[in-house]
Amino acid sequence: MTELSSAPVPPVAADDHVRGPADAALVIEYADFECPYCAALSARLAARQLRRVFRHFPVRSGHPRAWPAACAAEAAGVQGRFWEMHDLLFGDQGRLEDPHLWQRAGELGLDLARFDSDRRSEEVIARVRRDFESGIRAGVVTTPTLSCGGVLHPGKVEESTLIELERGFTAG
């Protein structure tokens, strides 16, 4: 039985998806690819000097394509192209059906047969589920939610908060 009782946001793991300067402040995003607020926040975070960790938080009934999109990003990650797929998914949220996912995989030059097999694999599904469950245990209730220094910032994030985060929690 999966443990889902309360627990802090897990620290960055070796297989987490991380980008940004190593000495910048660390933010962990819980997001889903069908969430327009997540796409908007992602663009704002990209404009800041932050070290970002992306974790999946797909909720099927609200966003029915969030799970397939999350699995597509992970499958791209198996071939070393997670962040490229991340950007393509957030770049056009009106096109998240399977043919659109295959098209993106093609754009990235992925092995399509492997991509399609991986995105349905137990390992990829478990990886997405692991992120989701870590969010549940930490009390994440909506997307996007940022976690910085153990504090959750659910929903809309003010620009002043991003500036504070950029300045306040330097990891280096």
Q: Residue numbers of the site for another protein (CB under 8 A)? A: 1-2, 4-7, 59-62, 64, 132, 136-142
Closest distance to another protein from the beta carbon of 5 (Å): 5
Q: How far is the CB of 154 from another protein (least distance, A)?
A: 8
Which residue's CB is nearer to another protein, number 76 or number 157?
A: 157
| Smallest distance, another protein to C-beta of residue 2, A | 6
Q: Confirm if 52 and 20 have CB atoms less than 8 A apart.
A: yes
- Whole-angstrom Cα distance, residue 29 to residue 135? 10
Sheet containing strand 145-148, strands side by side:
17-19, 50-56, 25-31, 145-148, 151-154
Nearest to 55 by CA among 77, 36, 23: 77
CA-based torsion, 85, 54, 20, 11: positive or negative: negative
Cβ nearer to another protein, comparing 54 with 132: 132
Nearest residue (CB) to another protein, 24 versus 134: 134
| Closest CB 158 distance from another protein, rounded Å | 18
